[in-house]
Structure 1
């Protein structure tokens, strides 16, 4: 991990309008949970809907998209990545450093609010708060890596990422049985269901499938992003 790259990446992520946008996601989750905590309805069902459907299913991929693409796509778009690539740094180290910053930022802005919201809504009962928090940690890393790869691979990373998050994860992955096996959200739910009490969270993918796929996506996206970034360097030198 390179400290200079990490500092520049963090400054780019938290600066100006993007920093405000990033804070909207945890603030929204906390606000909804605070309002819902005063409800007289079924607390278990309410917690599953807020933390599972809203938090893990909708807000986390959006947060991962903003952070993952923002860690590198902006520099590629405005051309400032050239100055970074001119440094004697292995391309994989640039990618892994940016990914580390992206993952850490995603964790801070998602896992901590998820835990707080879970405790606010349902306390420690059935391990729901802990289950969804662990799920957010693993799924958040996979989302960050995947969207960082998109940031390197295409200039339309945000559009492609939104299409994936809103169409595949929110719609197809939730309602088409066969597609659930290829959904980061469903993999995260599998982890949450394992950590929580038996039957507390409905899952559709076996843990033995979900965890290897989460790790494979995270590692695979990181490797591909490194290869793509090296390709950008070669293209710049040839021109």
Structure 2
């Protein structure tokens, strides 16, 4: 991990406009949770819907998109990536450093608020708050790697990422049974199911499949992003 690259990446992610956008996601989740905490009805089902569908299924991928693409796509678009590539740094180190910053930022703005939202809604009962927090940690890492890759391979990373996050994850992944196997959200839910009390969370993907898939997406996306960035270097040199 390169400290200079990490510092510059973090500064870019927490700039005025993007920083405000990052605050909207946890603020919305906490606001909805605070309002729902005083509502009557089945608190278990309400917690599962808010943390699972809203938090894990919608807000987390959107935040991962903002952070993952923002970690590198802006530099590629405005051409400032050339200055970074001119440094004697291995391209994989640039990518892994940016990914580490992206994952840490996603965890700070998604996993931590997820924990507080769960505690507001349901306290420590059945381990739901902790379970969804762990799910946000593992899914957030996968989203960060996936969207970082998009930021390297296409200039339309935000559009492509929104299509994935909103269409595939939020719509197709929730309503088409076969597509759930290829859903980061479902992989995260599988991890949450293993952490929470038995029967309190239901996932459509087994833990034995979810964990390898989460690892595979994270590693493969990181490797492909490194290879693509090396290609950009060669193109610039030519």
TM-score range, shorter chain: over 0.9
Give the superposition deviation at 1:131: 0.5
2:210 & 2:86 partners in 1: Cα distance?
Answer: 39
Please give the per-residue CA displacement for 1:135-181, whole angstroms capped at 9, x wherever unaligned.
00000000000000000000000000000001110111111111110
Please give the per-residue CA displacement for 1:19-47, whole angstroms capped at 9, x wherever unaligned.
00000000000000000000011100110
Match of 2:202 in 1: 202
1:94 & 1:217 partners in 2: Cα distance?
Answer: 19
Give the superposition deviation at 1:195: 0.3
Which aligned pairs between 1:96-111 and structure 2 lie closer than 5 A?
96-111=96-111
Runs of 5+ consecutive residues of structure 1 not aligned to the other structure: none
1:174 & 1:40 partners in 2: Cα distance?
Answer: 26
Runs of 5+ consecutive residues of structure 2 not aligned to the other structure: none
Instruction: Give SS of 2:41's match.
Output: coil
- Paired residues, number: 238
1:30 & 1:178 partners in 2: Cα distance?
Answer: 32
Give the superposition deviation at 1:202: 1.2
Match of 1:27 in 2: 27
Which aligned pairs between 1:7-18 and structure 2 lie closer than 5 A?
7-18=7-18
Match of 1:46 in 2: 46
Deviating more after overlay: 65-74 vs 193-202: 193-202
**Runs of 4 or more above 2 Å deviation:** none
Which aligned pairs between 1:211-222 and structure 2 lie closer than 5 A?
211-222=211-222
Give the superposition deviation at 1:102: 0.2
Which aligned pairs between 1:1-239 and structure 2 lie closer than 5 A?
1-238=1-238
Instruction: Give SS of 2:97's match.
Output: helix
Please give the per-residue CA displacement for 1:108-153, whole angstroms capped at 9, x wherever unaligned.
1011100001011101111100100000000000000000000000
When the two chains are superposed, the root-mean-square deviation of aligned CA atoms in Å is: 0.4
User: What TM-score, normalized by structure 2, do the two folds share?
Assistant: 0.99
Give the superposition deviation at 1:16: 1.7
